[in-house]
């Protein structure tokens, strides 16, 4: 009888172990997924990543043979297609990507990144009147893109830049990849006289690899000629720790902080316009992008208007409400984030003044504290007075990315930017343009880093 019980327990134990092993295998399978390859949507967890990479490499010659003017025509057409689809299929955040894909902007981006002559992507050319040598920009090969989940639309910028410089694209999608998948798949919907969207889509492979799937993460890294990482400190550090080829180029778009600075002269005739433009900068990516402002400093030397900073905060709250109601309705947020916002509001009811609706759609916090506020994101912005704009330099470090500038005097603006960017900060756009992508980004001309420069004696 006792033996029978032990045997029964053993059988139950074996059954549990077998069930656990089956679950373990299922988890392992779910750590990798071939979402899209060869221009076809698969979403298959059984494919082999190394075979997918071998297949992607076979498209290298075709992409290299395409003329840069033809690639430009294609992406301009794709930008128009996305612009017409914005709001219907892809969301309002894609507006900036569509603007980036205008002919004027793409040609400017190529020229400024590739020594003034982007025809070097096709042939050997002269540069800067040098008659002794000819120069040619060759693609590096396979660009592997680790896309951040918080703002997956931003990853499209590096994908477009890689394809324009004739690099194949292997994209590691975030956990929630539906928008990115739809964007990439829509390449199929556009063709030009010289380039079929289907052919260009063949030069892209989109996969999901769980961050704990170290085996496939290593395969991604070891096969990369360019590693492009978008994300926070932990994600980027993990990518950088992966083994790579000695000649692999790293392009890192890591964790950054952005803010804005405005003076009283600028606000005299621009108060409402400035708050409307800043409300867009704050709302466009819900502050989850590295170029979204979290703190707004107001320099107030106007003794006749001591309430200027608080008046600005109140006007900004009106603009935040308008943007949320009419232009960019805020997406649903987690209960945890809602509690974080409510906790901040309670704290600053005592330390300052809070302008906010009954819900958590947006929050403007006025206080007289010094320095940069800790970011909360989710449309929570801090407004703080500063006696002298130049004092901002003491808060600067290399983590600063974008500084929205609203300084009325042009010469003072240039001197201020020179002072503060010596310590950190890579972009100083006017307020309202903080969320727009342009080169350099994080201090990098991306397309310059995506090519190898070849020189040849001109004989």
Asked if residue 211 and residue 339 are part of one domain, the reply reads no
- What is the torsion angle, in degrees rounded to the nearest 10, for the CA atoms of residue 71, residue 74, residue 76 and residue 79? -120
Q: What is the pLDDT of residues 321-378, one digit of tens each?
A: 999 999 999 989 999 999 999 999 999 999 999 999 999 999 999 999 999 999 999 9
Cα dihedral sign for 145, 148, 151, 152?
A: positive
Q: Which residues have CB under 8 Å from 140's CB, separation 6+?
A: 167, 225, 226, 249, 450, 451, 452
d(CA 71, CA 281): 31
Percentage above 90 pLDDT, the chain = 78
Pairing of strands 133-139, 40-44: unpaired
Q: What share of the chain is helix, strand, coil (3-state, %, to 5)?
A: 45, 20, 35
Nearest to 74 by CA among 439, 82, 56, 180: 82
Asked if residue 292 and residue 395 are part of one domain, the reply reads yes
Asked if residue 281 and residue 221 are part of one domain, the reply reads no
d(CA 42, CA 33): 9
CATH number at residue 312: 3.40.309.10
Q: What is the pLDDT of residues 154-170, one digit of tens each?
A: 889 999 999 999 999 99
Domain around 323 = 257-421
Question: Looking at the predicted structure, is the pLDDT value of residue 220 above 50?
Answer: yes
Asked if residue 291 and residue 157 are part of one domain, the reply reads no
Percentage above 70 pLDDT, the chain = 91
Asked if residue 395 and residue 275 are part of one domain, the reply reads yes
Asked if residue 413 and residue 452 are part of one domain, the reply reads no
Measured in whole angstroms, the distance separating CA 172 from the mean position of its chain's CA atoms is 14
Whether 7 is covered by a domain: the verdict is: no
Question: Looking at the predicted structure, is the pLDDT value of residue 310 above 90?
Answer: yes
Q: What is the pLDDT of residues 141-156, one digit of tens each?
A: 999 999 987 777 888 9
Q: What is the pLDDT of residues 84-123, one digit of tens each?
A: 875 555 555 667 788 899 999 999 999 999 999 999 999 9
Whether 45 is covered by a domain: the verdict is: yes
Question: Looking at the predicted structure, is the pLDDT value of residue 228 above 90?
Answer: yes
Asked if residue 324 and residue 232 are part of one domain, the reply reads no
Whether 215 is covered by a domain: the verdict is: yes
Q: Report the b/e string of 440-459 with b at 16+ CB within 10 A.
A: ebbeeebbbbbbeeeeeeee
Asked if residue 180 and residue 92 are part of one domain, the reply reads yes
Whether 235 is covered by a domain: the verdict is: yes
Q: Which residue has the tokens 């958590």?
A: 360
Tokens describing residue 11: 């059988």
Position 155 scores a pLDDT of 86
Whether 17 is covered by a domain: the verdict is: no
d(CA 378, CA 283): 8
Position 92 scores a pLDDT of 59
pLDDT band for position 269 (cuts 50, 70, 90): confident
d(CA 342, CA 334): 13
Asked if residue 250 and residue 127 are part of one domain, the reply reads yes
Element (H or E) spanning 267, and its range? helix 264-268
Q: What is the pLDDT of residues 236-263, one digit of tens each?
A: 999 999 999 999 999 999 899 999 999 9
Neighbours of 353 (CB within 10 A): 14
Position 437 scores a pLDDT of 86
Asked if residue 122 and residue 271 are part of one domain, the reply reads no
Question: Does the global pTM surpass 0.85?
Answer: yes
d(CA 164, CA 158): 10
Q: Which own/partner contact pairs does 86-95 have at CB distance under 8 Å and 24+ positions apart?
A: 89/182, 89/186, 90/179, 90/182, 90/183, 90/186, 91/153, 91/179, 92/284, 92/327, 92/328, 93/151, 93/153, 93/284, 93/285, 94/153, 94/183
CATH number at residue 106: 3.40.605.10
DSSP class of residue 270 equals T
DSSP alpha helix (H) spans, 357-431: 410-421
Asked if residue 238 and residue 303 are part of one domain, the reply reads no
Whether 387 is covered by a domain: the verdict is: yes
d(CA 279, CA 293): 10
Whether 433 is covered by a domain: the verdict is: no
Question: Looking at the predicted structure, is the pLDDT value of residue 289 above 60?
Answer: yes
Whether 431 is covered by a domain: the verdict is: no
Q: What is the pLDDT of residues 41-67, one digit of tens each?
A: 998 888 899 999 999 999 999 999 999
Position 421 scores a pLDDT of 95
Asked if residue 35 and residue 121 are part of one domain, the reply reads yes
* Overall number of domains in the chain: 2
């Amino acid at each position: 009888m006792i033996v029978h019980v032990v045997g029964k327990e053993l059988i139950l134990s074996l059954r549990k172990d077998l069930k656990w092993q089956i679950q373990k295998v299922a988890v392992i399978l779910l750590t990798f997924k071939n979402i899209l390859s060869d221009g076809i949507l698969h979403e298959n967890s059984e494919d082999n990543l190394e075979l997918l990479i071998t297949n992607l490499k076979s498209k290298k010659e075709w992409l290299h043979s395409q003329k840069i003017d033809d690639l430009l025509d294609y992406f301009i057409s794709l930008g128009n297609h996305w612009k017409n689809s914005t709001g219907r299929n892809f969301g309002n955040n894609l507006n900036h990507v569509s603007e980036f894909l205008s002919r004027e902007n793409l040609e400017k981006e190529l020229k400024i990144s590739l020594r003034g002559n982007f025809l070097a992507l096709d042939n050997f050319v002269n540069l800067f009147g040098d008659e002794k040598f000819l120069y040619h920009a060759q693609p590096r090969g396979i660009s592997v893109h680790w896309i951040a989940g918080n703002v997956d639309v931003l990853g499209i910028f590096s994908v477009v830049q890689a394809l324009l410089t004739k690099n194949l694209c292997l994209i590691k999608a975030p956990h929630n990849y539906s928008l990115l998948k739809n964007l990439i798949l829509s390449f199929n919907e556009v063709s030009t006289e010289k380039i079929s969207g289907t052919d260009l889509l063949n030069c892209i492979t989109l996969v999901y690899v769980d961050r704990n799937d170290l085996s496939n993460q290593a395969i991604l890294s070891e096969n990369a000629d360019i590693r492009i990482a978008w994300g926070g400190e932990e994600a980027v550090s993990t990518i950088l720790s992966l083994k790579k080829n000695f000649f692999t180029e790293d392009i890192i778009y890591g964790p950054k902080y952005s803010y804005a600075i405005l003076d009283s002269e600028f606000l005299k005739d621009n108060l409402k316009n400035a708050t409307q433009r800043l409300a867009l900068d704050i709302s466009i990516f819900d502050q989850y992008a590295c170029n979204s402002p979290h703190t707004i400093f107001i320099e107030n030397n106007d003794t006749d208007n001591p309430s200027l900073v608080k008046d600005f905060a109140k006007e900004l709250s009106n603009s935040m409400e308008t943007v949320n109601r009419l232009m960019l309705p805020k997406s649903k947020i987690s209960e945890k984030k809602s509690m974080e916002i409510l906790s901040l509001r309670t704290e600053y009811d005592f330390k300052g003044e809070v302008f906010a609706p009954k819900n958590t759609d947006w929050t403007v916090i006025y206080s007289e504290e010094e320095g940069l506020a800790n970011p909360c994101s989710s449309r929570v912005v801090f407004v703080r007075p500063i006696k002298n704009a130049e004092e901002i330099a003491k808060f600067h470090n290399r983590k600063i990315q974008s500084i929205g500038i609203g300084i009325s005097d042009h010469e003072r603006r240039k001197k201020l930017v020179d002072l503060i960017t010596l310590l950190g900060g890579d972009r100083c756009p006017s307020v309202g343009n903080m969320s727009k992508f342009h080169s350099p980004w994080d201090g990098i001309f991306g397309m310059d880093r995506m090519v190898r420069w070849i020189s040849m004696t001109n004989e």
